[in-house]
């Protein structure tokens, strides 16, 4: 899986509608750490994007619950793989592309060696998660 820049969408709700139209229901969101905050509308959280860098803090938000975690980016030849690891847990979940601004979290052994120097550094919008682990 090669990671590439994804063009940002102007409205977060457009992403949600696109995923719903594809038949993949979102069960959560990966967001830049600490970004879930009141957006001025009662009960609505705003999610923020994050960079694909090893050690980047990224939260998983689902059902009003936030699970802190960290990205691990590994390089295997010219291919970068991003893994999300919940804080205090040994398992890692690869971010498998599931469409525009959407991923599946799939538990899998890590492949490659740690990416260095903040590579690839690509900035992503918040990612809708269409297959959620039990956390």
pLDDT digits 0-9 by tens, 9-27? 323 333 433 434 445 578 9
How high is the pLDDT of residue 135?
Answer: 75
pLDDT at res. 21: 40
* Residues 67 and 60: beta-carbon distance below 8 Å: yes
Residue 62's alpha-carbon distances to 29, 41, 44, 112, in angstroms, are: 7, 18, 12, 29
Q: What percent of the chain has pLDDT over 90?
A: 53
Q: Using 50, 70 and 90 to split pLDDT, how confident is the model at 87?
A: very high
Lowest mean pLDDT among 23-32, 68-77, 102-111: 23-32
The token pair at 15 is 């992403």
Element (H, E) at 72: strand 69-76
**Token output for 26:** 């979102």
Q: pLDDT class for 45, splitting at 50, 70, 90?
A: low
Is residue 71 within 8 Å of residue 83, measured between CB atoms?
yes
Query: What pTM, to 2 d.p., does this model score?
Result: 0.73
Check: CB of residue 89 under 8 Å from CB of residue 107: no
Q: How confident is the model at residue 105 (pLDDT cuts 50, 70, 90)?
A: very high
């Amino acid at each position: 899986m090669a990671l590439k820049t994804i063009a940002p969408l102007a409205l977060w709700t457009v992403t949600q509608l696109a995923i719903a139209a594809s038949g993949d229901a979102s069960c959560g969101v990966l967001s830049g750490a600490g970004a879930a905050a009141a957006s001025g509308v009662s009960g609505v959280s705003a999610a923020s994007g994050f960079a694909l860098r090893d050690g980047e803090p990224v939260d998983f938000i689902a059902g009003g619950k936030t699970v802190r975690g960290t990205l691990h980016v590994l390089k295997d030849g010219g291919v970068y793989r991003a893994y999300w690891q919940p804080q205090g847990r040994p398992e890692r979940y690869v971010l498998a592309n599931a469409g525009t601004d959407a991923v599946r979290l799939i538990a899998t052994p890590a492949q490659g060696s740690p990416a260095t120097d903040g590579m690839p550094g690509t900035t992503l919008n918040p990612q809708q998660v269409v297959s959620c682990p039990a956390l």
